[in-house]
A and B are shown apart, each in its own frame.
Chain A
Amino acid sequence: MDKLHLDQHISRKFNDELEDIRNRALHMGGLVEQQVTGGLQALLDGDSELGAEISKADHQVNKMEVEIDEACTHVLARRQPAASDLRLIVTVIKVITDLERIGDEAEKLGRFSVDLASSRELPVYRKELRHLGELVKSMLRDALDAFARMDVDSAMKTAAKDADINQEYETLSRLLVTHMMEDPRQVRNVFNITWCARALERIGDHSVNICEYVVYLVKGKDIRHTSFDEAKSKINN
């Protein structure tokens, strides 16, 4: 069952409800992606105005999570969905939880960028942050894409990219720790940069989760906490 066939219920109203929930989750994904892009840009450009804006806009993400959650609860209560419909609802509930957390991380980026805008330390790490940020952004985009297209292959490939992100993050955080030890007076700024790097790395983790939910949605298999190879063999039988 690789397609959801959301338009084939005998109840057209049910079709509409499920379609609406799916669209809203995709819409929320788009908003969160924007937030991450904006937060990262604010940080890299030292744009404290943009940073404040991003930070302020987080409530929209939160609001969407609550609304979609409620719509899912109503479908569970009123329709008792089964099979792929049930998996869709469960998946959406989980996806929006991770999206909301990603929103929180974007909010952090915005908030820290205000502090860091005029710091002397930020330019030192701009290149590394940009690199990490680009990896994370593309991973999030691919994860949301895999969700929209229900593409298991691309979900698996995307999830595997988290290893690169973790490596970049490790490298950067080692540099930052060394910096803090060598120049303890600048601990505050360097520490905030560490927080930003950490926020980016966490967005990667949440993107992995989204990829795993895509596999569950399409294949009905739970591949959380399994290795890539184990996951592959689970999916294929």
Chain B
Amino acid sequence: MVDETQAVLDSIEGTVGDITVVDPKMSMRNVDVFYSDKQAIYDVDLDVANNEVIAMIGPSGCGKSTFLRCMNRMNDTIPTCRVEGSISLDGEDIYAKDQDPVLLRARVGMVFQKPNPFAKSIFDNVAYGPRIHGLAANRAELDDIVVKSLKRAGLYEEVKSRLDAPGTSLSGGQQQRLCIARTIAVSPEVILMDEPCSALDPIATARIEELIDELRENYAIAIVTHSMQQAARVSQRTAYFHLGKLVEVGQTNDIFTNPAHELTENYITGRFG
């Protein structure tokens, strides 16, 4: 690491702002993440609340995706990755031995940067999760889940006449909403989104953002975004990451009008760090 970068890293001592919430849905404490022996996340504490969108922002490579992936053990799939500290969902350690990562990922769903529908029909894309988790007793129940999920994802009206068509035949924005429907179909409690709009045009983006705001009613949502404007538009709280540390967290209104940390200020105003 260059000396200058090391100096900045050393200068970040703890997090400015209140990392706790009343009645947290998820709690991360003293989280360190390593890829082999390279540390990507340093001692991060953060709570995530129900019915709230928390945005995670910061320069590329600062560890947003790494941190997000810890929250549903998606990092387990990367052999070199090691996670330390504690992460709990409703007070239960999600890294405990008896936790089934597959079940966990149904409770804590994830939507990715590039819409990634399976090479299946629209219906089967959404029905996939409920089928493997055995959430429907019969076809009528499955139909019901699929329709409800598509409706919640704001996609149903556009696809109801062609549920047999391949998911990949949809537009980019529709595909992303299909992926959101797929996530919702297994009744998650938390939804993680990693730059869900970066491949979408402004109209499709606006629809996803509107959807995120609606989903907030029923879920805890954490969204990583490289668009500060998007963070400002969709979130109630914002967390600013820099070089793997959580520099500042606060109400989005405060972060965007009067951030406390100079690094946050520099980033959101487009100044040199």
Contacts and interface: CB of A to CB of B under 8 A. Distances in A.
Q: Do A and B come from one complex?
A: yes
Determine the main DSSP class of B at the interface with A: helix
A82 B232 CA distance: 10
A78 interface: no
Q: How large is the interface on B (under 10, 10 to 19, 20 to 34, 35 or more residues)?
A: 10 to 19
B97 interface: no
Contact of A83 (B229, B268, B272): B268
A220 B270 contact: no
B258 interface: yes
Contact of A1 (B232, B262, B268, B272): B262
Interface string B170-194: 0000000000000000000000000
Interface centre among B265, B266, B269 (most CB of A within 10 A): B269
Contacts, number: 41
Interface string B238-273: 000000000000000000111100101110111110
A232 interface: no
A82 B269 contact: yes
B270 A9 contact: yes
B257 A9 contact: no
A33 interface: no
Contacts of B104: none
B262 A83 contact: no
B270 A83 contact: no
Contacts of B232: 82
A22 B208 CA distance: 38
A22 to B, nearest CB: 15
Contact of B229 (A80, A85, A87, A220): A80
Contacts of A220: 257-258
A8 B272 contact: yes
Nearest to B260: A1
Nearest to A15: B271
A220 B259 CA distance: 9
A86 interface: yes
Contact of B259 (A11, A14, A83): A83
B257 A87 contact: yes
Nearest to A85: B269
Contacts of A84: 265, 269
A30 interface: no
Contacts of A83: 256-259, 264-265, 268-269
Interface centre among B259, B262, B270 (most CB of A within 10 A): B270
A61 B265 CA distance: 34
Given A80-B229, A82-B228, A82-B232, A87 B271 contact: no
A145 to B, nearest CB: 24
Interface in A80-116: 80-87
B270 A10 contact: yes
A94 B148 CA distance: 49
B268 to A, nearest CB: 4
Contacts of A87: 257-258
A5 interface: yes
Nearest to B262: A1
Given A86-B256, A220-B258, 5 more contacts: A8-B272, A10-B271, A82-B232, A83-B259, A84-B269
Interface of B: 228-229, 232, 256-259, 262, 264-266, 268-272
Interface of A: 1, 5, 8-11, 14, 80-87, 219-220
Question: What are the 5 A-B residue pairs with the smallest beta carbon separation, nearest first?
Answer: A220-B258, A8-B271, A82-B268, A82-B256, A85-B269
18 contacts: A1-B262, A1-B265, A8-B266, A9-B269, A9-B270, A9-B272, A10-B270, A10-B271, A80-B229, A82-B232, A82-B269, A83-B259, A83-B269, A84-B269, A86-B256, A86-B257, A87-B258, A220-B258
